[in-house]
Structure 1
Amino acid sequence: MDTLQLLFNTVTVVFIATTMFTAGLGATLSALRAVFATPALPLLALVANLVVIPLLGWGVAVLFGLSTAAFVALVLAASSPGGPLGAKLSMLKGGDAVAGTTTQVLLAAVGSVTFAPTANVVLSLAEVGGGVSLDVAALVRTVAILQLVPFAVGLVLRHHAPLTAQSWHPVAARTSNVTFVAVLAGMLLGNWQAVVALLGSRTLLAGLVLSVVAFAVGMALATGGPARRTSMGGVAAVRNAGPVLAAIGIAFDNDPAVLGAFAGVLLSGLVAAVPIVAVFSRRWGDGGG
């Protein structure tokens, strides 16, 4: 592994951990209980992200007539819920950060188990790719270490030492913000050739469309007011890259075509999701509609 790749991986780990730690510092047990007080919210989020969006990924891939590599990349992305960027988007002004981060952690945990069989079923039914074989236990451990543990530590600190949590929160949030920008820049710079090669193809448009439709599904299959629905839309629009990269490495031997297509899908999805969530969050944050 070269130095730049190691640096990027390190920054990505720091971003994920600090984002979830920040979310924990800003949450309270009473607020978390309120999120799950009505089971409809987590249940609808699971249906949207584990069932509806993977099927939409299949449909979008067929609609745009994607090549095999792009088809595989889009289905893998659609089958992998709980991206940490979703928690980040829910922290924007006007968003429901507690509901967003709690749901994101839930989806990441459940998705680590469902991702491989879901992607395998869709690709098999579509007769595309060679199937996905992943170490589910390894994925669960990764999610636990990078997402569940930092969130729990922050939550415990907030509950038992609120003044310390309050003083640490701005530093953790700034670290999360800086590493967020670094991760986006690293993805773009590290895969720019593959992304440029996709210009003029339907892959980037398919990734953008999937993100927009996923946002709409996340909002529609949610309970609560506009702020919470916006956060649920943002969580749904951002997919979890970790399991997908593992799948491409294990099941497709790091096929450059699949890797490049996934980078394009992920980046085009972010291009759509970030401004949509920002506009909606600002609207509710300013007291609009």
Structure 2
Amino acid sequence: MNTLQLLFNAVTVIFIAATMFAAGLATTLPALCTVFTDLPLLLLVLLANLVCVPLLGWGVAALFGLPAASFIALLLVASSPGGPFGAKLGMVQNGDVVAGAATQVLLAAIGSITFGPTANVILKTANVGGGVSLDVATLMLTVAVLQLVPFAVGLIVRHYAPSTAQAWHPVAAMVSNVTFLVVLVGMLVGNWRAVIALIGSLTLLAGFVFAVIAFALGTALATGPGARRTTMGGVAAVRNAGPALAAVGIAFGNEPAILGALAAVLLSGLAAALPIAAVLSRRRGVQLPTTPGSDA
């Protein structure tokens, strides 16, 4: 692994941890309890992210008649909920950051267990890619270290030292914003050849369409005010790259064609979700992150 790749990986880790830490600093325990005791919301979010979006990925891949590598990449992405970019989209759109961060962390934890079986069943049923075997314990540990722990630390600081949380939040948010841009640029620079190679195919378009429909599904399958529903849309649209990358390495030997297609799907998904979040942000104007039960 070269120096640039190591640097990119380090920045990605910082982005994920800073995003979840900032979300924790902006979250109160009562607001978090409100989210986790809202059973209709939780059930709909789980239905959308664990069932509907994976099936959507299969449907889009089949509809566009994607080649095997792109088909596998899209199914892996669709089967992997709880991407940290989902929490970031909640911030970008001035949405319900508390609900977005809470459900994103929950989905990441559950997804570390469900990803392997979900991807395996769909790939076998679609008769493409063979089986996927993943180390569930390693995935769960990764989620805990990079997402659950920073969020919990931020939450504890907010609960026991609210003035400190208020002082730290702008810095954490700035680090999240800067590293977010670096990660985006790094994905483009590091995979530009693979992305360009796929321009003649329908992979980029399929990833874009998948993200748009997933955003709509996540918004529709949610309860509460508009800010919360569209935040759930962002959580559904942006998937967790970690398990998908692990699957490519473990089950497919880091096949370049699949890695390139995976990068293309992830980038096209962000290209679809970010403008939607930006439009929502402009409509709502500059405001403090909403808490569950408040509207935009």
1:275 equivalenced with 2:275 (yes/no): yes
Contact persistence 1:227–1:281 (CA under 8 A): no
- Residue deviations 1:99-156, cap 9 Å, x none? 1111100110000100010000000000000210100000000000000000000000
Deviates more, 1:269-278 or 1:139-148: 269-278
| Structure 2 equivalent of residue 241 of structure 1 | 241
- Aligned equivalents of 2:32, 2:19: Cα separation in 1: 17
1:207 aligned residue: 207
In structure 2, what is the Cα distance between the partners aligned to 1:159 and 1:247? 38
| Preserved CA contact (<8 Å) 2:112 2:143 | yes
Q: Deviations over 1:42-73 (max 9, x none)?
A: 11111100000000100000000000000000
Q: What TM-score do the two structures reach when normalised by structure 2? A: 0.95
1:278 CA displacement: 1.7
Aligned to 2:103: 103
**Match in the other structure for 1:173:** 173
**Which AA in structure 2 matches 1:99?**
A
Q: Which residue of 2 aligns with 1:231?
A: 231
Matched, 1:163 2:167: no
How many pairs does the alignment contain?
289
Once the two structures are superposed, what CA deviation does each residue of 1:212-263 show, in whole Å capped at 9, x if it has no partner? 0000000000000111111000111101001100000000000000000000
Superposition CA RMSD, Å: 1.3
Partner deviation per Cα, 1:8-60 (whole Å, 9 max, x = no partner): 00000000000000000000001111112321111111110000000010000
Q: Matched residues in 2 for 1:175 and 1:238: separation? A: 20
Contact (CA 8 Å) 2:72, 2:123: kept in 1 or not? yes
Contact map agreement 1:69 1:258 (CA 8 A) in 2: yes
Deviation at 1:93, TM superposition (A): 4.7
Same amino acid, percent of matched pairs: 71
- Stretches (4+) displaced over 3 A: 284-289
Aligned equivalent of 2:136: 136
Give 5+ residue unaligned stretches, structure 2: 288-294
- The one-letter amino acid paired with 1:22 is A
Pairs within 5 Å for 1:108-123: 108-123=108-123
User: SS of 1:147's equivalent?
Assistant: helix
Classify the secondary structure of the residue corresponding to 2:92: coil
Residue in 2 that maps onto 1:124: 124
For normalisation by structure 1, the TM-score amounts to 0.98
- The whole-number CA distance in structure 2 between the counterparts of 1:243 and 1:38 is 28
Q: What secondary structure does 1:253 align onto? A: coil
Distance 2:245 2:92 in 1: 27
Which residue in 2 is equivalent to 1:193? 193
Deviation at 1:284, TM superposition (A): 3.4
Aligned equivalents of 2:120 and 2:4: distance in 1? 32
Given that 1:226 and 1:284 are in contact with CA atoms closer than 8 Å, whether structure 2 keeps it comes out as no
Write the distance in 2 (CA, Å) between the matches of 1:261 and 1:195: 7
Shift of 1:277: 1.7
Q: 2:183: which partner in 1?
A: 183
Paired residue for 1:260?
260
Residues of 2 paired with 1:11 and 1:216: CA distance?
A: 30
Q: Which residue of 1 aligns with 2:84?
A: 84
